[in-house]
Amino acid sequence: MVDTPGYGDSLDCSDNYEPILNYIDEQYERYLNHESGLNRRHISDSRIHCCFYFISPVNYGLKPADIQFMKLLHNKVNVVPIIGKSDSLTKDEVQVLKKRILNELKTHNIQIYQIPDCDPDEDEDYKEHVRQLKAAIPFAISSSVDTYEVKGRKVRGRSYPWGIVETENPEHSDFVKLRSMLVTHMQDLREVTQDVHYENYRSQRLAGKIAPPIDMKDNVSVSGDDAEKDRILQEKEAELKRMQEMITKMQEEMKQKQHEGSPQNNGVNGN
């Protein structure tokens, strides 16, 4: 899990985009370097497979900054829109806001993560579960780590003068649906990252259309084991490069000797 504290706090959010976008690219670049190395059996996958984009419940839709940033994000990562602090809205207001957000995403051609359809032979209960997950997007979340006792059982939630908003109560929040989506579709999230977002980055990077992330080595911290592995791989790659240069040099020398020993150079007439 990677958090982005401070995002959206200033009036001009343009400076907030670059660190997040650069971090996503850094993870793709790291994976690309490992994938291109000699030892590709145990690649550490630190790519971002899912981005929870929290939307304020008080703006009655997407802000211009939300639209601008999601346009930059949706081609890089699986975006899952979330309405945060949804307990500040009534049920009717939540449904109206969900519909407005979906319409704005469609208007601005912003692609969010699509839960895959069920196979025809899937269980009916699972089909209904997936249908409910799709209908809940964008997820309206009210969460808390505080616990309260409600009717003899302890629940996580928020306390108000009129009662308790339970985090894991489907009538109060989409938290359980969001958690279920993340757990049951994690493999699909990974596959979309690999087949779509990473492949886009890889193809553009190898074609020279985009440059590697700025100051990647300074911005990305690695563990001692990873650093040692990287050092060994770099040494092996350097050694392989030297061997290739030696082979090329030897081939050129052999060609030169063959050319010098040819009949034309020895003055022999072939007729």
Residue ranges per structural domain of the chain = 14-221, 225-262
C-alpha radius of gyration, the chain, whole number:
28
* Residue pLDDT, tens place only, 90-134: 999 999 999 999 999 999 999 999 999 988 888 898 999 999 999
Residues 6+ apart with CB under 8 A from 133: 115, 177, 180, 181
* pLDDT at residue 226 is higher than 70: no
List the strands of the sheet with 79-83, edge to edge.
51-55, 79-83, 139-140
pLDDT of residue 192: 96
pLDDT of residue 228: 60
List the one residue out of 27, 48, 77, 41 whose CA is nearest residue 212. Answer: 27
Q: What CATH architecture does domain 14-221 belong to?
A: 3-Layer(aba) Sandwich (3.40)
Q: Which two tokens stand for residue 73?
A: 């994000």
The C-alpha angle 211, 215, 221, rounded to 5 degrees, equals 125
* pLDDT at residue 152 is higher than 60: yes
pLDDT of residue 222: 41
pLDDT of residue 36: 76
